[in-house]
Amino acid sequence: MNNIQISKNFKLKEFQCGDGGYQVRLDSQVLKKLQELREQTGRPVLINSGYRTPSYNQQVGGSPRSQHLLGKAADIMVPGMELESLARVAEGIGFGGIGIYRTFIHVDVRSEKVRWKG
């Protein structure tokens, strides 16, 4: 299910909730900006977490106001690329929220600019 190509480099299933179901919600700006990130880096962008249902978000310790609940966020990494460098590229593309964690970065399309380290 959800094995649908939605851009040059992404399939819908990459954004579905990680709870084993097929639920997915995706803001078109997330897809557009991630595709741009893919093109700028010239490397695959791996999505660790996209949409989250409220129960799954709680299960993984996500914020009650997480952008993942709205389909406006993704936790990503790019093989062979340092997270700080990836965050700088994401900054240039115009993601609203960017958080740097130990093994991935969080990007989202909220309207305000927010930066953090997790």
Residue 29 domain-assigned (yes or no): yes
Q: 67 with 97: CB under 8 angstroms?
A: yes
pLDDT of residue 1: 86
Assess if residue 75 is contained within a domain.
Answer: yes
In a domain, 2, yes or no: no
For residue 40, the tally of other CB atoms under 10 A from its CB is 12
Residue 94 inside a domain? The answer is yes
Q: What is the pLDDT of residue 2?
A: 94
* Type and span of the H or E element at 117: strand 114-117
**Residue 45 in domain:** yes
Classify the C-alpha dihedral 109-29-70-22 as positive or negative.
negative
pLDDT in tens, the chain (118 residues): 899 999 999 999 999 999 999 999 999 999 999 999 999 999 999 999 999 999 999 999 999 999 999 999 999 999 999 999 999 999 999 999 999 999 999 999 999 999 999 9
Q: What is the CATH number for 25?
A: 3.30.1380.10
Query: Within a domain: residue 16?
Result: yes
Number of domains present in the structure of the chain: 1
Does residue 1 lie within any of the structural domains?
A: no
How many beta carbons lie within 10 A of that of residue 55, not counting itself? 9
**Could you tell me the residue range of the domain that residue 40 belongs to?**
12-117
